[in-house]
Amino acid sequence: MTSPLQELVFDNRLVRELPADPEPDNYRRQVANAVYSRVTPTPVANPQLIAGASEVAALIDLPPTIFTDPQFAQVFGGNTLLAGMEPHACVYGGHQFGNWAGQLGDGRAINLGEVKNRRGEHWTLQLKGAGPTPYSRTADGLAVLRSSVREFLCSEAMYHLGVPTTRALSLVSSGELVRRDMFYDGNPQLEPGAIVCRVAPTFTRFGNFEIFSARNDIALLKQFTNFTLRTDFPDLFPASPAEFTRADYLRWFNEIGMRTAQLMAHWMRVGFVHGVMNTDNMSILGLTIDYGPYGWLEGYDQDWTPNTTDAQGRRYRYGNQPRVALWNLAQLANAIYPLIDDVEPLQAALENYRVEYERCAQRDAAAKLGLSQFDPARDQALNENLLQCFQLIETDMTIFYRKLAQLNADDIPHYADNQCVDIVRESFYSSADENTEAQFAGWIRQYAQRLQQDYVLTGNTHEQKTARMNAVNPKYVLRNYLAQQAIDKATAGDYSEVEKLLHILRNPYDEQPEYQDYFAKRPDWARHKAGCSMLSCSS
């Protein structure tokens, strides 16, 4: 019987329409006058499926039973190519921690090709950890199990949270060991290897444009940009003109800014910290891309970063993410400036980003508090006062908002301070002193009054408020310690926790009382444990 894998239809537009690196051999080098290099995944000893996402399989017309197909692990472990696949790695540059890094490129990622599904959508399949490419520099192009588990789970967790993201089809163990220096302390260890198949409409990044502009290859910059507008923004340019104008490029750049602003608001809403917001990790589609040393806020802290490499400067800390995104957009504006040759409209587009981010942030602030809309005159101070309360005691943001949703504004006038605080006390990591209790209670009373005003103005009820809050404040997120527990088990050959987390995180806003144990603060043992507090870029 024919495998459904054999029925995949590949329409590899990038490979077909853009210039390739003429050098066929796979060795590290600078690649000029080309968009990509042809490269084949490195075969592995014993590819075995660890987990798969049936929702992602459906995107490319594969049935949920595909994961039991004996050919699946061979293909998505990098051992076998399907008819129509044209594997390649793309060149790009980037600013890393604010500094221009020159050529970077797909050093650990190999695009297998673009699947065209029955709905006419294009989905690029990309293996991460499938061996070296010309852009691997001094690395081996492989990935270890711990980072692959994190990428697989977080890709799907973010999607189900409603956060724009690349997806993950599968997680496959390689049957081989990979040497990594996890802490960059001169003590490398052998770790089990793994490969993730990532799926997205495109993996194009800001850095894809930066590299051509930095090299003053304006012809290739224009060719690649025109291709991007035609293939990745069909809703923006349905007519697909033969030639694009300066106005078209500006419209496109403004769209990227809008999507990026919306993405940043989502990250801030759920307490996600990317950790490595270099320009080469910024998607032109406004997707979360490249899950390295990311993390969720445990104790609320605007200055927290999960990245050990960023521990000193904290450039990519939680509270700085919207500003970094704007800085990255400015670097993209510099890169495409030769196509526009006018600073003012680019600056106007950057200002539009600020406006859109503020709009989204205010919308989310109101939704997180169950208000029908954000009234700056009333709610700016209300929100700022809450953030000040968070500074008084280590507070778990995820738990706080889910508990706050249970507050009934009618009850608060009859409550003593300690009863007010009892509503959210479960979110505190330590006992609250008298001053902290008084300030939290004061805020809760202020909040209850604002809710009552909102009910009068809108006719909304307590039940509607609670439903609104629980629709935007997740109960279950991929807490760092939960991911590490799954990694520890997987390293020992037990993949059940990976599957369990994937199942729970498919419905992050639902109560799921049978998984109540996963709605819990970070345990003390995880406060400083590697993989639970901060992570390196080692993968």
Asked about 280 being catalytic, the answer comes back as: yes
Q: To the nearest 10°, report the CA torsion of 488, 492, 493, 498.
A: -10
**How far, in whole angstroms, is CA 214 from its chain's centroid?**
27
H helix or E strand, kind and range, residue 128: strand 122-128
| Of 21, 106, 232, 280, catalytic | 280
Q: What is the DSSP letter of 524?
A: G
Q: Is 62 helix (H, G, I), strand (E, B) or coil?
A: coil
Picking from 142, 150, 84, the residue whose alpha carbon sits closest to that of residue 110 is 142
Q: Is 345 helix (H, G, I), strand (E, B) or coil?
A: helix
Picking from 284, 228, 215, the residue whose alpha carbon sits closest to that of residue 30 is 215
Tokens of 486: 């799954």
Phi, psi values for residue 95, rounded to 5° = -95, 120
User: Beta-strand (E) ranges in 376-515?
Assistant: none
Please list, in sequence order, all residues whose beta carbon lies within 8 angstroms of the beta carbon of residue 363, skipping any fewer than 6 positions away.
265, 373, 374
Q: Is 432 helix (H, G, I), strand (E, B) or coil?
A: coil
Tokens of 417: 């301070």
Q: Distance between CA 413 and CA 364 in Å, rounded?
A: 27
Tokens of 40: 């084949």
The secondary structure of 171-213, three-state, reads: EEEEEEEEEECCCCCCCCEEEEEEEEEEEECCCCEHHHHHHHH
Q: Distance between CA 129 and CA 197 in Å, rounded?
A: 9
Q: Distance between CA 288 and CA 90 in Å, rounded?
A: 18
* Active-site residue list: 280
